[in-house]
Amino acid sequence: MSPEELQRTVAATIVNTNRALEQRVRAQLAALQDQSLLRSLEKPAGLDLCSNDYLGLARHPRMRRRLAEAVRSLGVGSTGSRLLRGHRAAFEAVEERFARLKGTPAALYLGSGWAANLGVLSTFPTSEDLIFSDELNHASLIDGMRLSKARHVVYPHCDCDALSQLLESEPCSGQRFVVTESLFSMDGDIAPLQRLGELQAAHGFALVVDEAHAVGVYGRHGSGLIEETGCGDGVFLSINSAGKALGVSGAFVCGPSWAIQLLVQSARPFVFSTAPPPALAEAIDEALDLLQDEPERRVRVLEYGTLLRESLDLAPSNAPIVPLIIGPSAATVRTAASLRAEGYDVRAIRPPTVPAGTARLRVSLNADLSRAELAGVAGSIQRALGRRA
């Protein structure tokens, strides 16, 4: 075969391979479209009822000012991983402060909650260990367990009786871990942390709690539901987002110094990732100042959670996450579109984010809403769902 013929053969092979892959991908996209599961990227429009900015800090004037000042002094990028040239005094200072907020000896800041959960669950459990996971845990926790060498067992959502039976019946020659969110991101309900503490006393497992949606919102100092429930002594590690109520990005793993030191040495998402921009650490520090200076923000958003549920005749709770389960994905998409047409930015949450048959509107409240806006939201939801306003 001449060089020209070889070149034509290679080119034809590449074209055929790409065409076959394109056909497969288009079939996958068409299947998602047929099931009303095809997603699209949509810019914010209308009143914010779908973000995780529960305290309204992401656009707070003090936050903007502090971040701008930090960029001027620290630059835009970190230039490397924390173990190379990416470490800065700002990271160290905010980690020490966040550890004090959580009442733990140490904390480690990573670029995202996803990275933090993968780092924790791929570092500590070994092949001899066993992980018990709430069935509605976030995808990042699930993927972290998949990366772990340990076997994992799923227990029914917030069902401590079922968990107790599994703890007694499932064999384990090593360490047992129980992994849960504190405030569940799609259902807005709260894990039975005190009951888990009682089980821990009986069974001796290490408790890992993802506080992503609770940090900044709950607790006397705004540190989360671990503080609110007083169960901090029983928690091995907590994962705490800085990209939700704190309005910035990244996440802190909090716990004993020896555990944090192992993460620095071995957590692959930390070791092998470029560090976040150091200016973000300064912005988070400002958010922690605002937790102290403006506690009325978390009081207000919790009050709004109670009021919206009362107006919609839902089970009582003060959580800022209010799920409205519709069921079919197509109907959920239509309902979300009708609310957006009235100026309310509510998005449809569909499988695989939530279990099949439980597509929903996930209304996320924030402290910048007014009472009049909250009343308007309630009326529009009632009309969209066919209820009497």
The residues that are catalytic are: 52, 138, 181, 185, 210, 213, 244
Nearest to 141 by CA among 212, 230, 223, 50: 212
Q: Which of 132, 157, 184 is nearest to 360 (CA)?
A: 184
Closest CA to 249 of 273, 218, 284, 216: 284
Distances in whole angstroms, Cα of residue 154 to Cα of each of 46, 134, 190, 253: 39, 6, 18, 23
Q: By the 8 A CB rule, do 367 and 318 touch?
A: no
Q: What is the C-alpha separation between 135 and 120, in angstroms, rounded? A: 19
Those residues with Cβ within 8 angstroms of residue 365's Cβ, 6 or more apart along the chain or in another chain = 49, 54, 301, 304, 305, 308, 320, 321, 322, 374
Give the SS3 label for residue 189: coil
Strand pairing partners for 180?
A: 209
- In terms of Cβ atoms closer than 10 Å to its own Cβ (0-12, 13-18, 19+), residue 359 is buried
Q: Residue 136 and residue 138: Cα distance in Å, rounded?
A: 6
CA–CA separation, 165 and 172 (whole Å): 14
- Residues in the chain, how many? 389
Distance in angstroms (rounded) separating the CA atoms of residues 363 and 344 = 10
List b or e across 192-205, with b for residues whose CB sees 16 or more CB atoms inside 10 angstroms: bbebbbebbeeeeb
Pull the structure tokens for residue 383: 């009309």
Distances (CA, A) of 186 to 63, 116, 302, 303, 351: 28, 20, 17, 19, 11
Closest CA to 252 of 278, 292, 295, 284: 284
